[in-house]
Amino acid sequence: MAPLRERFILGVPLAVLAVTIVAVPVMVFGDDGLARHRRLRAQLEAQRQENVRLARQLIQLRAEFGAFTTDPRARERAVREELGWVRPDELVVEVPASALPSRLAR
């Protein structure tokens, strides 16, 4: 009985070691290992940059909204720029791009 127990005591750690020697490199260098980790890290960094950009845009949009709610001139400017509206006493003159000098026709 003693030799069987000694084999077991020696065999189990050796078997675990053998499995570990094979399994760890497969897990690290496989598709779900180091390569996936690097892809996920790159995606995380890109997402963080996008979040920063969107946070800046949100601050800008909140400022514009605040101006629209408090400043009538800001509302008028937005309507004029976005919708092309003019006042009844204003005259609109359209100049075709072909009639402009080349330095202004950009």
Higher-confidence residue of 49 and 16: namely 49
Query: Per-residue pLDDT averaged across 15-21, rounded?
Result: 81
Query: pLDDT tens-digit profile of 32-54?
Result: 778 888 899 999 999 999 999 99
pTM above 0.85, yes or no: no
Higher-confidence residue of 101 and 78: namely 78
Measured in Å, how far apart are the chain's first and last C-alpha atoms? 96
- C-alpha to C-alpha distance for 66 and 50, rounded to whole angstroms: 24
- C-alpha to C-alpha distance for 2 and 8, rounded to whole angstroms: 10
- C-alpha to C-alpha distance for 46 and 52, rounded to whole angstroms: 10
Confidence check: pLDDT of 81 > 80: yes
Q: Hey, how many other C-beta atoms are within 10 angstroms of the C-beta on 22? A: 10
> Which residues have a Cβ under 8 Å from the Cβ of 90 and sit 6 or more positions away?
none
